[in-house]
Amino acid sequence: KNNSQSAKRELTVVATAYTADPSENGTYGGRVLTAMGHDLTANPNMRIIAVDPKVIPLGSKVWVEGYGEAIAGDTGSAIKGNRIDVLMGSKSKAMNWGRQTVKVKVL
């Protein structure tokens, strides 16, 4: 039974990347904020992923293959089902990430 429980906590998802750039996100009072209120303008290198809250609950601590530990702290209009968006510190890092199929573990 332990195996089935841990299997429920691991998913395979399609992962794209985004940055804290206002042109990608829009701003609130001049700052880029996540769905949970994290200030990405002040913390552009935060380890945050955008999720579909129906699949990965907001606020969950997660491990993403190739990215590491992060918080499921954001949502996105295109992030539905088994898709995530990982926050990168620069546009070049986001472009290098591209679109990947990765494993996510909800911790």
Query: What is the residue whose two structure tokens read 């701003």?
Result: 27
90, 97 contact by CB (below 8 A): no
Give the pLDDT score at 8. Answer: 56
Position 39 scores a pLDDT of 96
- For strands 61-64 and 100-106, give the pairing: antiparallel
Task: Determine the longest span between alpha carbons in the chain, in angstroms.
Answer: 49
Which of the four CATH numbers 1.10.132.10, 2.40.50.1020, 2.40.40.10, 3.40.50.300 does domain 2-106 have?
2.40.40.10
Mean pLDDT (10-residue bins), the chain, 107 residues: 56 97 90 95 95 97 97 96 97 97 97
